[in-house]
């Protein structure tokens, strides 16, 4: 099986089902995000922007992993490469972002989630948690067997820290259920697919740069990768769609980039 065949078989079908669901809801004039976000334009805009952000942010990191030899891909299993990374890998970034985004919108609607705001105590704890994980990643990078896990943590956790700094108080309440359920479903499914792909030798993970710990037949690092990327997607969408997020962003924008006062003529 080639990398492209893998994407067509395992990622395209569930994504197609979610696209059909989203089109049906949109066609009926109903909100994709249910009561959490009634404006479909905002939901669709995020779905279009998130894959772009994922490709931009992940490309340098992913290329370094392949350059370092953490990931390897047999030439006969891929169409070609852009820099060090197969073309299909970039497509995977896009498909995962769309799959996770649509899944989260579906959960918001099914669970009839409403936006809430809680105290800043949880926000500070979340920031501390991701700061400590970032530091742990930096420590792991000092050991050969910790390189892959360390690279995952120092790549993902600073962004998660910023998400909680911006709106950790907005991630509590009823949306917590959708966030956790979406994360578990996406992580589990992609983890199973990844284990199969490794078994089929579509790609391989270096034993030198990994801990050797397995989650069934899945390397620990791969499980952590899909976990943190799923959290990035779910929390990012939860923040972006929260009604207070836009006003909070505008306040920050004005604070750091105030408009100059016009002088008298």
Nearest to 209 by CA among 31, 17, 71, 19: 71
Nearest to 72 by CA among 83, 82, 86, 54: 86
pLDDT of res. 264: 42
Nearest to 233 by CA among 159, 169, 172, 173: 159
pLDDT of res. 43: 94
Q: Please give the Cα distance from 39 to 32 (Å, whole number).
A: 8
Q: What's the burial of 207, exposed, middle or buried (CB within 10 Å: 0-12/13-18/19+)?
A: exposed
What DSSP character marks residue 34? G
Q: Please give the Cα distance from 142 to 150 (Å, whole number).
A: 9
pLDDT of res. 259: 62
pLDDT of res. 256: 75
Q: Please give the Cα distance from 96 to 264 (Å, whole number).
A: 54
pLDDT of res. 48: 92
Task: Count CB neighbours of 134 within 10 A.
Answer: 19
pLDDT of res. 262: 52
What is the domain partition of the chain in residue ranges? 3-254
Which regions of the chain are under pLDDT 70? 119, 258-265
**Strand, helix or coil for residue 260:** coil
């Amino acid at each position: 099986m080639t990398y492209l065949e893998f994407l067509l078989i395992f990622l395209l079908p569930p994504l197609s089902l979610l696209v059909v669901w989203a089109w049906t809801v949109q066609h009926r004039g109903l909100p994709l995000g249910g009561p959490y976000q009634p404006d479909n334009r905002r939901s669709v805009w995020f779905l279009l922007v998130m894959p772009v952000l994922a490709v931009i942010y992940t490309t340098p990191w992913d290329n370094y992993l392949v350059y370092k030899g953490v990931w390897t891909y047999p030439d006969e299993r891929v169409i070609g490469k852009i820099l060090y990374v197969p073309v299909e890998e970039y497509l995977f970034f896009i498909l995962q972002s769309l799959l996770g985004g649509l899944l989260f919108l579906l959960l918001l609607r099914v669970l009839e989630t409403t936006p809430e705001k809680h105290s800043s105590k949880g926000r500070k704890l979340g920031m501390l948690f991701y700061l400590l994980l970032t530091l742990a990643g930096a420590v792991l990078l000092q050991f050969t067997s910790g390189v892959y896990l360390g690279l995952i943590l120092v790549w993902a956790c600073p962004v998660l820290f910023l998400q909680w700094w911006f709106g950790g108080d907005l991630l509590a309440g009823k949306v917590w259920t959708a966030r956790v359920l979406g994360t578990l479903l996406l992580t589990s499914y992609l983890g199973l697919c990844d284990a199969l792909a490794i078994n089929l030798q579509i790609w391989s993970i270096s034993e030198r740069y990994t801990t050797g710990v397995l989650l069934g037949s899945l390397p620990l690092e791969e499980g952590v990768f899909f976990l943190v990327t799923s959290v990035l997607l779910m929390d990012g969408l939860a923040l972006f769609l929260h009604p207070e997020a836009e006003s909070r962003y505008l306040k920050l924008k004005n604070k750091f980039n105030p408009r100059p006062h016009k002088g008298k003529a």
